[in-house]
Amino acid sequence: MERLNGAHESAGVLTDTDEPGIPIPGGTLTEVFGKQVAQTPDAVAVEYGCHGEHQLSYAELDARAERLARRLVAGGARRGGRVGVLVERSAAVVVTLLAVAKTGAACVPLDERSPEARLGEILESVGCALLVVDAHSAQHPAAAGRRTLLVGEDGVPEGPSDAVDRPYDEPGAGAAGAGDVLYVMHTSGSTGAPKGVRVTHRNVLALACDRVWRGGAHERVLFHSPHAFDASTYEIWVPLLSGGRVVVAPEEINAPLLRRLVGGGRVTALWLTAGLFGALATGDPGCLEGAREVWTGGDVVPPDAVRRVVEACPGTTLYNGYGPTETTTFATRHRIHPGPPADGDIPIGRPMDHTRVHLLDAELRPVADGGTGQLYVAGAHVAAGYEGNEALTRERFLPDPFGARGERMYATGDLARRDTAGDLRYVGRADRQVKVNGFRVEPGETEAALTRQPRVAQASVVVDKDGDGGGRMTAYVVLAEGADDGAAGVDGVALRRALQEELPSYLVPDDVVVLPRLPLTANGKIDRARLAESSGVPALVERWVRRRPAQLAVDDPVSGARLTYARLWQRSG
């Protein structure tokens, strides 16, 4: 095996080091959690409430989950079955996820902000035997006509039942195996239908035992992501399987809240999507001061945002984490060091423990050093496949030609290259590549070039094809604080001129539109679908948008182009 500046490569396989890492614990997640309860029964496991005034110890969390599990079994939960969880972010989410795992069933996390039709489609596709709801979601249309179990904010099941004190005597309850499915997390598919990713107990244990979490930074982790988003796997199970504390965010994330949580010492580590990280870095980078580690990713991380946070929070370590849901939250990670990145963009780094990555061409052959290839992930993080879709499972989860017999690798659809230091660098999505005017265009290259501009905080590119092989590329950017001063001379024309000096002409956008912010999805990622609705709008509108962000109302007597922006930003909040 050849050493490559700390990374290791053989036959196209990249791992971080020769050291195998901490062995993955045997058994199920609930068994490993039970051992933690025995070690630290009185330690705080979950903290919740506006000021952290409510707490559950490990013993209390285990007892509460045990009680709920009995009710779930009485309601029909069985090993190999599916239990939907339609509950607002609260301590009840943590209790419920643990309780479902105890029954041997798999949890199906549901986000009540999702369209009713999507939730109905998910519930029908997985065949949920039972749906856990709270007072807020009990009347949700998705719950109509389904068998439900109501829980309080603290995770205590409501309503009388004689099942609370009964053992698991129903056939098929409990006794899950390490390879059993722990949860089915749904992501958007290319056809528009949600894909259910089957993640096993062993997948999550492999994530939680990684050495990167050791050292104390993850003693108190903020739980703020929707539990239907895979970042919650890190936010809940990394602390709970190592004696740490889950701090439940009392409201949606904003700078004042983070100052209170992080500055007050209640939170030592947290995850932020690249979009949310960029927005916070532009508005108030000091809100993260006091955190020992901040992980970001899920999209291209803007270098300017990193610079601003590093300057404002010198004691905080930043990581860029990369990984599709199919690789159990994180497949690679990169510790970001102070100073400008060598190649302008932020690497996605090296593989996590028990994980291997390959950069392969269309024939599944390793690409040459420095070349761009599709990123394939192998190892213990790779999920079991897609729920009810064996054809897609076979297409995306392939036999690993570089691994032992029976091992699989996941085709991410992401393009990456390996730099001279041995780090992986994200290039873009293979399915975002489009052919415009005879040239193959990768929007990610243009986005990366824009974020390398010293006065650009965030960028997103949309290609609007005309059906005849042509089209227009529109770039939307958010400027760094102070860069939108008229005296600075920063506008779409100036940025486009700068790109002409760096990129081939076919990668230079036709329009560069400066906006006050980029729209985000419910999961905190840049909402390119909303941007696409306004693609092709002339860049001359940008000055109106920049100067009148507080007046974006649909009843404003403006031109059609302005109305497009008004609707876009009113919906994005």
Nearest partner of 262 among 233, 216, 221, 317, judged by Cα? 221
Nearest partner of 572 among 496, 460, 480, judged by Cα? 460
Taking only the tens place, the pLDDT of each residue in 313-323 is: 999 999 999 99
For 341-371, give one letter per residue: b (16+ CB within 10 A) or e.
beeebbbbbbbbbbbbbbbbeeebebbeeee
> Tell me, what's the pLDDT at 337?
86
Distance CA 310, CA 573 (A): 28
> Tell me, what's the pLDDT at 30?
97
> Tell me, what's the pLDDT at 483?
63
> Tell me, what's the pLDDT at 194?
82
> Tell me, what's the pLDDT at 471?
75
Residue range 55-176, CATH number = 3.40.50.980
> Tell me, what's the pLDDT at 569?
44
Nearest partner of 184 among 383, 431, 418, 48, judged by Cα? 383
Q: Which value, to the nearest 10 degrees, does the dihedral of the CA atoms of residues 261, 267, 268, 273 take?
A: -80
> Tell me, what's the pLDDT at 431?
77
- Regions in the chain scoring below 50 on pLDDT: 1-7, 11, 162-165, 171, 485-488, 536-573
> Tell me, what's the pLDDT at 239?
98
Q: Where do the domains of the chain lie? A: 1-27+200-427, 55-176, 433-572
- Residue 449 makes CB contacts below 8 A (sequence gap 6+) with 499, 502, 503, 507
Distance CA 194, CA 452 (A): 34
Same fold, 1-27+200-427 and 55-176: yes
Distance CA 471, CA 434 (A): 10
CATH fit for domain 433-572, picks 3.30.300.30, 3.40.640.10, 3.10.450.630, 3.50.50.60? 3.30.300.30
Nearest partner of 229 among 530, 524, 531, judged by Cα? 524
The CA angle 319-325-329, to the nearest 5 degrees, is: 30
Domain 1-27+200-427: top CATH class: alpha beta
